[in-house]
Amino acid sequence: MYQHFANLLAGKYDDPKKALCRSNLVITFNYDVVLDEALKKAGISPAYGLADDANEKGVPLLKLHGSTNWVVCTGCRKPSVWQEAATSLFPFGSIQCKHCGKSDWRLLLVPPSWDKSEYQDIMRPVWARAVKELKAATRICIIGYSMPASDSFFRYLLALGLAENHQLYKLIVVDYKGGRSLSDFGVSSVQQDENPAEETVQDKYRRILARLFAKRRFDFDDQGFEMFLRRGANNLLNRGETIAML
C-alpha cells in the first residue's frame, strides 16, 4: 500500500505531458520512515525542507514533529538527516557532525504539544513551508488524523493555510469507520445512553469549517486509506488510463 502511495506521489502513473503541471507534497506528524523508504524504492528522494534550500530535489515530505532519521548536533545545533533511522545506528558516537566535527547527537523529535519553542529555530523552515503549501494547494487530503482536542497546533496550522487559500477545490478527510461499538466491550445500551459517544471525526471537521465551505468543498471518506487508494486507481482505469505497478 505504501509503495503504491509513493509511486502515486512520485508521478509514476501520470501522463508525462500532464506531469509537468502537477505536484504532490506530504505534511505529516509521524516520526517513522516508512514513507521515506517507499519513496526511495520509487526512485525519488524525500525532500524534508529542513533548510531554506530551493534546489532540494524530490517529493516534499514535511515532518512537523521531526523524524527518527533526523538528529541535532548538541554542539552547533545544526540538524542532519541520516540514511537510516538513528535508532538502528545506535551507538552513533563515532559519527562526526559535518558542521563542527563533534560527535554528540540528539534525536530531532518534537513532542505533540502546543509548546514547541525548544525546536523553533530548527523546525521553522519546515513549519513555514507547510503553511505556504497549504495556502497554495488545490486539493488537501487529510489521512488518518482524528484531530484530538489536545492538538491545537493542527487547528492553527489548518486555519493559517485555509484563510488565504482562494483556489482550493476540495478538502478530503480519509478515516476508517470500521471500529467496534461499546457493546463489543460489554457495555450495555443503558450505560451507552448515560455515556454518549464522543464527537465523530467527521463532525469535528465540519464544526471547524465554515458551513458554506463544508457544503461545497468538503468530502469525508470512512472506508480507510487502502480503499481510498484503490478507488482512485479504479477511477483512472474507468477513464481508460493505464496504471503500471512498479
Query: What's the mean pLDDT in 153-164?
Result: 85
Structural contact between residues 67 and 108, judged by C-beta atoms closer than 8 angstroms = yes
pLDDT at residue 27, as a whole number: 94
Query: What's the mean pLDDT in 141-161?
Result: 84
Report in angstroms the alpha-carbon separations of 154 from 53, 107, 157, 171. Answer: 25, 22, 5, 15
Q: What is the pTM of this model?
A: 0.81
Coil, helix or strand for 135? helix
End-to-end CA distance of the chain: 12
Burial class (CB in 10 A: 0-12, 13-18, 19+), 6: buried
Burial code (b: 16+ CB inside 10 Å, e: under 16) for 196-210 equals eeeeebeebbbeebe
**Where does the pLDDT of residue 241 fall: very low under 50, low under 70, confident under 90, or very high at 90 and above?**
very low
How is 28-47 classified by DSSP, letter by letter?
Answer: E-----HHHHHHHHTT--EE
pLDDT at residue 90, as a whole number: 60
pLDDT at residue 56, as a whole number: 75
The C-alpha angle with vertex 37 and arms to 36 and 42, in degrees rounded to 5, equals 100
- Decide if pLDDT at 119 tops 50: yes
From the list 157, 147, 142, the residue with the least C-alpha distance to 200 is 147
Continuous segment of H or E residues that includes residue 77: none
Structural contact between residues 173 and 201, judged by C-beta atoms closer than 8 angstroms = yes
More confident residue, 86 or 133: 133
Which is it for strands 66-73 and 105-109: parallel, antiparallel or unpaired?
antiparallel
Least confident of 25-29, 88-92, 140-144, 172-176: 88-92
User: Rounded distance, CA 176 to CA 146, Å?
Assistant: 10
Mean pLDDT score of the chain: 79
Least confident of 36-40, 98-102, 142-146: 98-102
Query: What's the mean pLDDT in 85-106?
Result: 77
pLDDT at residue 213, as a whole number: 80
pLDDT at residue 193, as a whole number: 41
pLDDT at residue 35, as a whole number: 94
Query: What's the mean pLDDT in 169-177?
Result: 88
For 38-90, what is each residue's pLDDT tens digit?
A: 999 999 899 999 875 556 788 999 999 999 999 898 888 888 888 888 776 66
pLDDT at residue 10, as a whole number: 86
pLDDT at residue 131, as a whole number: 92
User: Rounded distance, CA 171 to CA 139, Å?
Assistant: 6
pLDDT at residue 89, as a whole number: 61
pLDDT at residue 240, as a whole number: 47
Continuous segment of H or E residues that includes residue 221: strand 218-221
